[in-house]
């Protein structure tokens, strides 16, 4: 939580996790409740950083209901907004997805696309600068999404990892602290009305994850399996598996313009293992 130490932060969330140990002013309410925004002090804020806008109208509600004033709106979107299966490395200029896919993932993509458009429209209306950050798959300490933590939990419990001989295709990720650094850089450098991918160019596979986790716990066993066998054994498969699922992104614009440095995957995953280890070890003792 180095960000909170550097800045005078006000946090709005729904209170699922306590922030009592961190130096922030915390307000607990649902962002959709317009009247609740009046709880916040009527102060001038340098920036609003919006991590959890998912539905059309979420950004408009904040801007119109906010009790104070702010000079900059940073929206955390996703690389998933890009048109899929085009077979090219996607820069920030790549067209956005216009198709509507079924299910929760489809709703997520459509919501983020519409919210980006909503923010740009509101920015023009209120003469308010914005920045849109599009992270890839985020990993690292405090990651609540069940991805790398599922594999780390197996390691801590002494369960084998699976090497998937029919899942050789690489994917991309980004360390959580790199996303924090990206946020800080767009604020400090006033990267107004810009859009940035935040994703490392390093190519990751299930095997490379296994190799790094084996460095963390050398006695862990790695078994050879197929994807079908892994599914039958209910092995966690949190990352893309087939060539059709693979999408690749160019995260160099923010490197060139704002000098962001991406954390090497081995460094980031070892830190993540070290953060999750005591959590899973403690749970194992109960």
30-65 per-position pLDDT tens digit: 999 999 998 888 889 999 999 999 999 999 999 999
Domain that holds residue 194: 31-285
Nearest CA among 188, 187, 202 for reference residue 261: 202
Decide if 211 is inside a domain: yes
Cα 11 from Cα 27, distance rounded (Å):
6
Query: What is the C-alpha to C-alpha distance for residues 88 and 80, in angstroms, rounded to an integer?
Result: 14
Can you tell me the distance from the alpha carbon of 52 to that of 182, in angstroms, rounded to the nearest whole number? 17
Is residue 172 domain-resident?
A: yes
For the chain, the domain total comes to 1
DSSP H helices, 38-169, are: 58-65, 103-126, 148-157
In a domain, 16, yes or no: no
Instruction: List, as one string, the DSSP characters of 217-235.
Output: STT--EEEE-HHHHHHTT-
Contact in structure between 171 and 241 (CB atoms under 8 Å): no
In a domain, 14, yes or no: no
Check residue 75 and report its DSSP letter. E
18-183-77 Cα angle (round to 5):
85
Residue 7 lies in a domain: no
Q: What is the full per-residue pLDDT of the chain (286 aa) written as tens digits?
A: 455 557 788 888 887 777 777 788 888 899 999 999 988 888 899 999 999 999 999 999 999 998 888 899 999 999 999 998 877 899 999 999 999 999 999 999 999 999 999 999 999 999 999 999 999 999 999 888 889 999 999 999 999 999 999 999 999 999 999 999 999 999 999 999 999 999 999 999 999 999 999 999 999 999 999 999 999 999 999 999 988 889 999 999 999 999 999 999 999 999 999 999 998 987 766 6
Which residues lie closer than 8 Å to 139 by C-beta, 6 or more apart? 147, 148, 173, 174, 175, 176, 268, 269, 272
End-to-end Cα, the chain, rounded Å? 28
Strands (DSSP E) contained in 68-219 are 69-70, 73-76, 130-135, 137-139, 161-164, 173-175, 194-198
Asked whether the beta carbons of 136 and 251 are under 8 A apart, the reply is yes
The token duo for 279 is 């959590």
User: pTM of the entire structure?
Assistant: 0.93
CATH value at residue 39: 3.40.50.720
pLDDT digit string (tens) for 152-188? Answer: 999 999 999 999 999 999 999 999 999 999 999 999 9
Residue 191 is assigned to a structural domain of this protein: yes
**φ, ψ for residue 237, nearest 5 deg:** -130, 75
**DSSP single-letter state for residue 81:** G
Residue with token string 């790549």: 94
Residues 6+ apart with CB under 8 A from 142: 176, 275
**Residue 100 maps to a domain:** yes
Q: Do the domain assignments include residue 47?
A: yes
């Amino acid at each position: 939580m180095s960000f909170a130490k550097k800045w005078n932060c006000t946090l709005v969330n729904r209170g699922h996790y306590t922030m009592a140990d961190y130096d922030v002013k915390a307000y607990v309410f649902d962002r959709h409740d317009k009247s609740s925004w009046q709880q916040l002090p009527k102060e001038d804020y340098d920036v609003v950083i919006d991590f959890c806008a998912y539905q059309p109208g979420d950004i408009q509600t904040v801007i119109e209901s906010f009790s104070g004033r702010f000079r900059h709106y940073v929206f955390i979107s996703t690389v998933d907004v890009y048109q899929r299966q085009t077979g090219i490395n996607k820069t920030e200029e790549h067209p956005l997805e216009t198709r509507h896919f079924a299910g929760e993932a489809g709703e997520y993509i459509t919501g983020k696309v519409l919210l980006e458009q909503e923010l740009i429209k509101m920015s023009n209306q209120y003469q308010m600068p914005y920045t849109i950050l599009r992270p890839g798959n985020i990993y690292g300490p405090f990651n609540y999404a069940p991805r790398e933590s599922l594999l780390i939990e197996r390691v801590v419990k002494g369960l084998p990892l699976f090497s998937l001989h029919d899942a050789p295709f690489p994917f991309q990720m980004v360390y959580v602290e790199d996303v924090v650094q990206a946020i800080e850089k767009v604020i400090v450098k006033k990267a107004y009305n810009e859009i940035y991918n935040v994703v490392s160019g390093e190519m990751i596979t299930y095997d490379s994850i296994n190799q790094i986790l084996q460095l963390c716990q050398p006695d862990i066993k790695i078994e050879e399996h197929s994807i079908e066998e892994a599914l039958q054994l209910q092995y966690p498969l949190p990352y893309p598996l087939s060539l059709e699922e693979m999408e690749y992104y160019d995260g160099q614009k923010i490197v060139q313009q704002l000098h962001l440095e991406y954390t090497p995957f081995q460094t980031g995953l070892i830190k993540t293992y070290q953060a999750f280890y005591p959590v899973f070890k403690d749970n194992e003792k109960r």
